Amino acid sequence: MKAKTAEKKPNIFVRMGRKLKEVFSELKKVTWPSFGKVVKSTGAVLAVVIAFLVVFGAINYGLGALLDLITSIGG
Averaged pLDDT, 11-17 = 90
Total domains in the fold of the chain: 1
Is 38 within a domain? Answer: yes
Is 16 within a domain? Answer: no
Averaged pLDDT, 47-54 = 98
CB 51 within 8 A of CB 45: no
Instruction: Give the whole-angstrom CA distance, residue 34 versus residue 17.
Output: 31
CB 8 within 8 A of CB 14: no
Is 45 within a domain? Answer: yes
pLDDT of res. 49: 98
Per-residue pLDDT band at 9 (split at 50, 70, 90): confident
pTM summary value = 0.58
Is 24 within a domain? Answer: no
Please provide the average confidence, as pLDDT, over all residues in the chain: 90
pLDDT of res. 67: 93
Is 3 within a domain? Answer: no
Domain span at residue 60 reads 32-75
Is 69 within a domain? Answer: yes
